[in-house]
Structure 1
Amino acid sequence: MKKNFLIFCFISFLSTSLLADNKRPVVAEINGEPIFRDIFEQEWKQQSLFVGNEKLSQKKVLNTLIDRQIGIQKALKNQLDKNEVVLRKMQDVLFHAQVSKDLEDKFKTIKVTDADVKDYYTNFPEYRTAHILFRIPAESSETDRNMALTQAIKVYNQLQKDPSLFSALANEYSQTDAAKNGGDVGFQLADSYTPEYFKEIHGKKIGYVSSPIRTQFGYHIVKLIAKKEFNEINKQLYQDIVYKIKRNKLLEQYFSSARKSATIVILDSSLK
């Protein structure tokens, strides 16, 4: 919402500053600068979408545009348009506007079928798991890492002898909020897990208990509790996920093509 507002402000500024002509109807003038009717109507439509329980009037919408125009004029007088932070934000708006202009029609052609959703879910199903986490701080020493692994192996050996102890051991040793629930974190989307965590449980039988696995958080012992069947999932949620994957693929192709047509010189050898 904030980004949309920024985009609208900037486009409004461009419209009033660069596109002014005598043929566009004007609803008001602020210090000699016009507020065009088409800009007013755009703002009216925009505010109508988010009005809630508050009564919306044309006078109120016009006052919003007047306040904005006064603010823009003051910002230009104070040369904020030359401020580095402001310039970066304006460039960000221009960047998103250009990408939207180039890809909007292609995004509209994206189709997500039931087969697409089923294919995705086959590879990335929802699992319910519990885990025992032995945390390793981001700034850790080799001693810290060895201690965590030693403790994880010790607990894993206990589970090998008696898997029914998982909840009790999670409650005692796991360094997460889920410890009080026996380590149970409920059903999670596949992309909610770290890659190492998901790889360890994917395709395993219910009841599977892993040996200690390392992730960015530390060492986990993971128990697979359940797998959600396809007919139980939120189809709309997965349609959105697949849509975003297809959209991101278009974006990757777009930027790959753009880089090929640009002259790029990387001066820092460590970044090549």
Structure 2
Amino acid sequence: MVKKVLVSILLLLVTVVFAIAEDKMVAKVNGSPIYESEVNTVFAEILLKNGIAPSSVDFNNPQFKEIKEKILDQLIDREVLAQHSEKFAYKDIEEDINKKLSDLKSSFNNDKEYQDALKRNNLTEQELRNKIRKNILVRKQIDAIKSNIKVTEVEKKEFYNKNINKFKTTDSVHVKHIIILTGEKRSDADAKKLIDEVYNKLNKGESFEELAKKYSEDASAQKGGDLGFITKGKTVPEFEKVAFATETGKISKPFKSQFGYHILKVVENKKGKTLTYEEVKEQIAKLLADNKLEETIQNKIKEWRKSDKIEKYL
């Protein structure tokens, strides 16, 4: 679950400020504390990105110990980088801090809500300013490192040739549909009768999109039944079979799936292909640059850690 996300965590210096406060200190970097609430905030973001509601998880469950330890190590790295970013201080930094603080305050309905949030997190406004300052300086350091990173044409082509399978697309079809649900909502016979009525309207020239908005019973109805492009293996077999068998611009006959009765309209068919180097070279350049940035930051932090005093209590 925990992936290589150092750079994104390094930039969480402000976003972690208004986590649910817990006083337990889990680490210190040269005397600067890191609290369990910060670990839990990052953990919650990881859960959300994996489609899990943080409210459904007991953060104190021992099975999450390894994950939380990895997160803590990355938060320590963040603090190390922050402390070694002081050389990027500049004359207008106070103005930038004031603007960031003002923007943060404006996210609250009133000053009382803002002050209450500070109290819940055992923070003074000066401590908050210090966190904002760190975040700004970390960004400056990362930007400085990034500006020196170069990706050569040779490196891009080598990556493309070694990973060409990653640049193969599969057959896909852009479809719109109208679905009449079965089950608790209505009987199979009633659903079949209604889909046939809609099909007759289509045959008389009525708009597929307008009929989808009126009759279709899923979220795509608001978009005229548009489901975008689908690929094989991503939908139920009955739906996939009809979608890939229907000609571009044509409307299918009504058919049944486990969800109900459908009518499809095929907008476009795309055959799978291998993307050319020219089509993906910018994507490759960004990927390689990001990897180099991550590696450079890790190396710098590894070197700084040798002289820093780091204590862990988690």
After TM superposition, the score normalised by the length of structure 2 is 0.37
Higher normalized helix content (fraction of residues): 1
Report 1 or 2 for greater relative contact order, CA contacts < 8 Å, sequence distance ≥ 6.
2
